[in-house]
Amino acid sequence: MAPASNPWKLVLPLAVFAAAVGAWEATVRLQGIPPYILPAPSLIGATMIADWPLLRASLLTTLGTTLLGLALAVAGGVFLALLLSLSRIVEYSLYPFAIVLQVTPVIAIAPLLLIYMPQDVAVLTCAWLVAFFPVLSNTMLGLQSVDRNLMELFQLYGAPASRTPLALFRSRLKALWYLRRPAALPAFLTGLRIAGGLSLIGAVVAEMAAGSAGAGSGLAYRIIESQYRLNIPRLFAALVLLALTGIGLYLLLAGLSHRFLRRWHESALAPEK
């Protein structure tokens, strides 16, 4: 994620995008395609402005669910990863379940969650569930990826004088803080980037599942609603907002990752000239 030093890297995709939008506009106008089949980009823009109060509220709802889900996933994932890395017993007894839940498409339990919980809680739970496991598994991987020699160095210089359980635990905490935490950062940030995208997907899927079940106000609900009412321009406007949310989230997390890793990690280095 080095800043694009080559201007073409920015100009070319923008040109392609502009050309595609232009071709879309021209096709709709020349062929006289009705807006309930395919609205022109200009009409989508106009709808966006006209329906902004409504769309804004929906955007804030979805964004709030996504960010809160992500935050809870990070808190839960990191906490559990730390717990698992500190105690073998906890790791052996819990990690298999984490894997089972990870390989199950948890999104499919959204309808079930909607039965058991108030709707907004169910949507949030869904976003949390899908974002949780990438954070957990990546953080765990990171915590385990400390150089073996570095751990031995730690044993040599930082090992406790006494071998009581408490002293050993404190030495584990110390190793966690000084070695595992920084070593886990790249993997954690990768998990965070994946989780950001998934959290949005989780929120959208749950909103869609909820949309048919009752009242809702998120962007995905707007899409379903617009579909029923054949308000296709508004459907497109909501879609554009969802895409922008995804892009914004990605850029934010990628920027965060770059900010933390740029001095030392291979993934964040600019290519040599």
Partner 1 sequence: MLLHPMIEPASPLASLHGITKVFANGVTALAGFDLDIRAGEFLSLLGPSGCGKSTVLRLIAGLAEPTTGHVAWPGSTHEDHRSEIGFVFQEPTLMPWADVADNVWLPLQLRGVSRHDARERIAESLSLVGLENFAKAYPRELSGGMKMRVSIARALSLKPRLLLMDEPFAALDEITRFRLNDDLLRLQNDLRCTVVFVTHSVYESAYLSSRIAVMSPRPGRIVAEVMGETPGSRAKDFRTSTRYAALCGEISRILLEHMAEERG
List residues near partner 1 by CB under 8 A. Answer: 147, 149-150, 152-159, 161, 174, 178-179, 182-183, 185, 263-266, 269
| Residue that is written with structure tokens 């979805």 in the block | 62
Scanning 87-180, the segments in alpha helix (DSSP H) are: 88-103, 110-116, 119-143, 148-158, 165-175
CB of 266 to partner 1, least distance (A): 8
Q: Quick check: helix, strand or coil at residue 251? A: helix
CB of 84 to partner 1, least distance (A): 22
CB of 158 to partner 1, least distance (A): 3
| Both structure tokens of 93 | 């007894």
Say if residues 132 and 97 touch (Cβ distance below 8 Å). no
Residues 6+ apart with CB under 8 A from 265: 185, 186
Closer residue to partner 1 (CB): 173 or 230: 173
Closer residue to partner 1 (CB): 1 or 109: 1
Closer residue to partner 1 (CB): 88 or 266: 266
Question: Which candidate, 8, 37, 59, places its Cα nearest to that of 219?
Answer: 59
CB of 109 to partner 1, least distance (A): 39
Closer residue to partner 1 (CB): 109 or 174: 174
CB of 45 to partner 1, least distance (A): 46
Q: How many C-beta neighbours within 10 Å does residue 90 have?
A: 13
Closer residue to partner 1 (CB): 93 or 155: 155
At how many degrees (to 10) do helices 219-228 and 52-86 cross?
140
